Copies of this chain bind each other. A is one copy, B any other.
Amino acid sequence: MSSKVQTQQRILDAAQSLFAESGFNDTSLRQITTKAEVNLASVNYHFGSKKELIQAVLQRYLQVLMPRLDQEFDRLLASQKPNDLTQILSVFVKPLLDLNQLQRRGTRTFLQLLGRGYTDVQGHLRWFINHHYGRTLDKFVLLVQQSCPHLPQSEVFWRLHFSLGSIVFTMASSDALAEIAQADFNEAVDIEGVIRRLIPYLGAAIAAPVYSQDLKTVA
């Protein structure tokens, strides 16, 4: 009995770090099972397929993170007046950083995985997250819309995807970026530093005024 969960755990642990480092496509089951020191076939035995393993790896974080975010969103939605955008974005910080208690380097790993999830794979992870946590995400969108009454819904849609791009891309390549920052600016940056840098950036971006289109008609 305990050997079963041990094997599953070993696979998940090995998989998550390899996935975070090299992406889903570029990590083979053989690499995972070698690192986990389990038999190749055990991935399919315990998880069914590689696709389901990927989902299981992300699920381990999402099932902790998302209920906490959902709770925070409810709290903000309960207040009468619209919330400040920076405030809304800041509610992500603590739940994200608390993932470090779930796993060593949990925050970093999860965000890297999320990045990989949106860039590597075409559809199935996007669908998976939306299917399981769409309700929570909708609350977030609503909050942002309330805080930006000057923006049409479609503009909020685009800007949130622009923002998702920043996050996901930054996290997928956070190792490389941190290295450059270290070399060029002698600046030690951890994942918390990146998150905190993102908040004012995204806050200003999402709330930016929409410029009228007619003054920039180019030839």
**A78 sits at the interface (CB 8 A):** no
Closest residue of B by beta carbon distance from A119:
B119
- Is the Cβ of A172 less than 8 Å from the Cβ of B119? yes
Min CB distance A211 to B, Å, is 5
Q: Give the segment of A1-9, A41-49, A60-68, A191-199 that binds chain B.
A: A191-199
Report which residue of A22, A172, A197, A213 has the largest number of chain B beta carbons within 10 angstroms of its beta carbon.
Answer: A197
Closest residue of B by beta carbon distance from A152:
B185
**A111 sits at the interface (CB 8 A):** no
Residues of chain B contacted by A164 (CB below 8 angstroms): 169
Q: Taking A153-B185, A205-B205 as contacts, is the C-beta distance between A218 and B200 under 8 angstroms?
A: no
A85-103, CB < 8 A from B: 86, 90, 93-94, 97
**A77 sits at the interface (CB 8 A):** no
In the complex, A202→B209 CA distance in Å? 11
In the complex, A216→B86 CA distance in Å? 11
Q: How many residues of A contact B (CB 8 A)?
A: 60
The answer, among B94, B172, B216, for a CB contact under 8 Å with A218, is: B94
Min CB distance A173 to B, Å, is 8
In the complex, A203→B119 CA distance in Å? 24
- Is the Cβ of B204 less than 8 Å from the Cβ of A216? no
- Is the Cβ of A200 less than 8 Å from the Cβ of B208? yes
A146-167, CB < 8 A from B: 153-155, 157-159, 161-167
The answer, among B119, B120, B187, B198, for a CB contact under 8 Å with A162, is: B198
Closest residue of B by beta carbon distance from A201:
B205
In the complex, A167→B170 CA distance in Å? 12
